[in-house]
Amino acid sequence: MTWEDFCTLNLPQPHTVTVAAYRGDGAYGPVYDPARQVQPCFVDDARRLVRAADGSQVVSEATVYAPADTVAPAGSRLTLPTGRVTTVITAKALTAAGLLLPEHVELMCE
Protein backbone atom coordinates (compact mmCIF):
# COMPACT_ATOMS: atom_id res chain seq x y z
CA MET A 1 0.00 0.00 0.00
CA THR A 2 1.33 3.44 -0.89
CA TRP A 3 1.20 6.48 1.36
CA GLU A 4 -1.28 8.11 -1.04
CA ASP A 5 -3.57 5.05 -0.93
CA PHE A 6 -3.37 4.97 2.86
CA CYS A 7 -4.33 8.65 3.13
CA THR A 8 -7.21 8.26 0.67
CA LEU A 9 -8.62 5.38 2.71
CA ASN A 10 -8.05 6.82 6.19
CA LEU A 11 -7.96 10.61 6.04
CA PRO A 12 -11.17 12.35 4.96
CA GLN A 13 -9.31 15.67 4.63
CA PRO A 14 -5.54 15.19 4.23
CA HIS A 15 -3.33 18.17 5.00
CA THR A 16 -0.91 20.05 2.77
CA VAL A 17 2.29 21.58 4.17
CA THR A 18 4.97 23.72 2.57
CA VAL A 19 8.60 22.68 3.03
CA ALA A 20 11.75 24.73 2.44
CA ALA A 21 14.51 22.14 2.92
CA TYR A 22 17.52 23.28 4.95
CA ARG A 23 20.76 23.20 2.93
CA GLY A 24 23.23 24.55 5.49
CA ASP A 25 24.56 27.84 6.77
CA GLY A 26 25.74 30.58 4.45
CA ALA A 27 27.52 33.85 5.07
CA TYR A 28 24.26 35.50 6.13
CA GLY A 29 22.56 32.65 7.98
CA PRO A 30 20.61 29.52 7.06
CA VAL A 31 20.20 28.61 3.37
CA TYR A 32 17.03 26.85 2.18
CA ASP A 33 15.84 25.23 -1.05
CA PRO A 34 12.83 26.89 -2.69
CA ALA A 35 9.63 26.09 -0.81
CA ARG A 36 7.40 23.38 -2.25
CA GLN A 37 4.04 21.97 -1.26
CA VAL A 38 3.91 18.43 0.10
CA GLN A 39 0.71 16.39 0.14
CA PRO A 40 -1.03 14.32 1.34
CA CYS A 41 0.12 14.80 4.93
CA PHE A 42 -1.27 14.38 8.40
CA VAL A 43 -0.46 17.03 11.00
CA ASP A 44 -0.73 16.06 14.67
CA ASP A 45 -0.69 19.17 16.89
CA ALA A 46 0.49 17.53 20.09
CA ARG A 47 3.30 18.45 22.45
CA ARG A 48 6.04 15.81 22.81
CA LEU A 49 9.53 15.73 24.25
CA VAL A 50 12.06 14.73 21.56
CA ARG A 51 15.83 14.55 21.26
CA ALA A 52 17.39 16.97 18.77
CA ALA A 53 20.37 16.15 16.55
CA ASP A 54 22.78 17.65 19.11
CA GLY A 55 21.41 15.35 21.84
CA SER A 56 19.43 18.01 23.71
CA GLN A 57 15.83 17.45 24.71
CA VAL A 58 13.42 19.77 22.91
CA VAL A 59 9.64 20.15 23.00
CA SER A 60 7.95 19.37 19.68
CA GLU A 61 4.65 21.18 19.14
CA ALA A 62 3.62 19.34 15.96
CA THR A 63 4.35 16.08 14.16
CA VAL A 64 3.88 15.87 10.40
CA TYR A 65 3.52 12.52 8.64
CA ALA A 66 4.39 12.93 4.95
CA PRO A 67 5.15 10.88 1.81
CA ALA A 68 8.38 8.86 1.90
CA ASP A 69 10.06 11.02 -0.76
CA THR A 70 9.71 14.22 1.30
CA VAL A 71 13.04 16.01 1.75
CA ALA A 72 13.02 17.94 5.04
CA PRO A 73 16.18 17.48 7.12
CA ALA A 74 16.49 18.96 10.61
CA GLY A 75 16.52 22.76 10.35
CA SER A 76 14.08 22.88 7.43
CA ARG A 77 11.31 25.50 7.46
CA LEU A 78 7.81 24.10 7.38
CA THR A 79 4.51 25.96 7.01
CA LEU A 80 1.58 24.11 8.56
CA PRO A 81 -2.01 24.25 7.21
CA THR A 82 -2.82 26.83 9.91
CA GLY A 83 -0.19 29.17 8.45
CA ARG A 84 2.19 28.72 11.38
CA VAL A 85 5.83 28.53 10.29
CA THR A 86 7.94 26.07 12.25
CA THR A 87 11.32 24.35 12.10
CA VAL A 88 11.96 20.62 11.77
CA ILE A 89 13.72 19.24 14.87
CA THR A 90 14.12 15.67 13.64
CA ALA A 91 13.12 13.74 10.55
CA LYS A 92 12.99 9.99 10.29
CA ALA A 93 11.99 7.61 7.56
CA LEU A 94 9.56 4.92 8.64
CA THR A 95 9.65 1.75 6.56
CA ALA A 96 6.91 -0.83 6.25
CA ALA A 97 9.18 -3.55 7.70
CA GLY A 98 7.15 -6.23 5.96
CA LEU A 99 3.82 -5.00 7.32
CA LEU A 100 0.89 -3.74 5.28
CA LEU A 101 1.71 -0.17 6.24
CA PRO A 102 2.95 2.55 3.90
CA GLU A 103 6.46 3.91 4.06
CA HIS A 104 6.46 7.57 5.12
CA VAL A 105 8.44 10.31 6.85
CA GLU A 106 7.84 11.59 10.38
CA LEU A 107 8.83 15.23 10.97
CA MET A 108 8.96 16.49 14.55
CA CYS A 109 8.60 20.28 14.53
CA GLU A 110 9.07 23.14 17.01
Query: Rounded to whole angstroms, how far apart are CA atoms 91 and 55?
Result: 14
Q: How many CB atoms lie within 10 A of CB 20?
A: 18
Half-sphere exposure of 7 (CA within 13 A, CB side): 18
The confidence score (pLDDT) of residue 89 equals 96
Q: Which CATH number fits domain 3-109: 2.40.10, 1.10.3470, 1.20.120, 2.40.50?
A: 2.40.10
pLDDT > 80? residue 18: yes
pLDDT, tens only, 22-79: 999 999 999 999 999 999 999 999 999 998 888 899 999 999 999 999 999 999 999 9
Q: Which amino acid is at 62?
A: A
The confidence score (pLDDT) of residue 52 equals 87
Ordered by start, the domain boundaries in the chain are 3-109
